Amino acid sequence: MKEKEKRVLVGMSGGIDSSAVCILLQEQGYEVVGVTMRTWDVPSHFSTPGQEQPDDVLEAQRLAARLGIEHHVADVRKEFRQVIVQYFIDEYMRGRTPNPCVMCNPLFKERILCEWADRTNCAYIATGHYCRLEDRNGYRYIVTGDDSTKDQSYFLWKLPQAILRRMMFPLGGMTKASVRDYLASKGFEAKARGGESMEICFIDKDYREFLREHCPDIDERIGEGWFVDSKGIKLGKHKGFAYYTIGQRKGLEIALGKPAYVLKINPEKNTVMLGDAEQLRTRYMLVEDVNVADREELTACPDLSVRIRYRSRPISCRVLWLEDGRLLVKFAEEASAIAPGQSAVFYEGNRVLGGGFIASQQGIKKIAAEKEMLFQNSF
């Protein structure tokens, strides 16, 4: 290997996974360079009074010193607030449910890693995601990791080919338990016993409190609205549409004598439609902002499935491209709680073919009726 091709930039969070990545790559003969992004400070990130750097930065620095690797700190708090946190807020203000981790990977973390890799003369970038890579037909695909409980392929569908071709996922063939054992065997017993990080790194409380904190005028801008049923009949007052998500049952603070679920959110009218669980079920879904390596492969795939939220099981499906660039998805069985703003990620077995954001489902019954003939004998 040429000198540059021996250098790998690792995104170091100071946690279990990225620490294991650094050690594994060193053992494989790579020259590891670490960078830790300081994205968002919350009180729980600082364990001692007067501490200037958050715990994850200090942990990463200690590991880098122990391993003898070059380490950098990228203070990207301002940009993170402008790009990722603002997206998170804006989506709720549109009546949608955001996927901040999906947006963070292509728009922020991996992009910044690529910039730092260029700056530090590294050919590759590596992270602690539990997934793998596969080259096929001239494209590079993400494949689910061997540890199904930690698989993170769902969050990476938006990564472009240019970034995927530089990426390495050293933990894809390991389980979390084996990673802990590996760290302990290398003399990092305390690190191996460490806890897990938060799923949304910038929220350490209920997201509604976060919205109020960072949009102090949110209650004035939105205000109270009406819960309505599927016929538009008013059922009672709610606190504002941004505080609710599709499929939500708990915390509605309204008594209807039976379980009620959020069916639809209308930000223009500030209404939240409630109904029963059966009304959440559907055989169709619209998806927008689609990113796939091979469009024809997606429509022709005989073993296509889709996940509509993280941790959900894949549902067999078929897809059609609409004239406006959206995808019409037909499920082999009914799906529940289709939430605009969340990700729909398409798989062939364990291979990610691509994904998109769940779109507004307005008008879907008419669209599905018009296209149904094209789905005949599809299951």
C-alpha distance from residue 97 to each of 103, 228, 246, 327 (Å): 13, 20, 8, 19
**17 assigned to a ligand binding site:** yes
**11 assigned to a ligand binding site:** yes
Q: Yes or no: say if 190 and 184 are a contact pair by the CB < 8 Å rule.
A: no
C-alpha distance from residue 310 to each of 91, 150, 153 (Å): 18, 11, 9
**128 assigned to a ligand binding site:** yes
Q: From CA 84, how far away is CA 158, in angstroms rounded?
A: 14
**13 assigned to a ligand binding site:** yes
> Six-digit token pair at 178?
């084996």
Task: Give the active site residue among 104, 122, 131, 301.
Answer: 104
Annotation says 201 is catalytic: yes
DSSP 212-225: HHH-TTHHHHT--E
Task: Give the active site residue among 101, 131, 201, 317.
Answer: 201
Q: From CA 12, how far away is CA 126, in angstroms rounded?
A: 9
Q: Yes or no: say if 6 and 31 are a contact pair by the CB < 8 Å rule.
A: yes
Q: From CA 42, how far away is CA 200, in angstroms rounded?
A: 12
**18 assigned to a ligand binding site:** yes
Non-local CB neighbours of 113 within 8 Å, separated by 6+ positions: 9, 11, 35, 125, 127
**15 assigned to a ligand binding site:** yes
Non-local CB neighbours of 270 within 8 Å, separated by 6+ positions: 222, 223, 224, 225, 226, 240, 241
Q: How far is CA 280 from the centre of its chain?
A: 23
Strands laid side by side in the 7-11 sheet? 70-75, 31-38, 7-11, 124-126, 167-168
**37 assigned to a ligand binding site:** yes
> Six-digit token pair at 362?
């307005």
Other Cβ atoms within 10 Å of 100 Cβ, number = 19
The binding site for ATP consists of 11-18, 37, 128
Catalytic residues: 104, 201
The binding site consists of 11-18, 37, 128
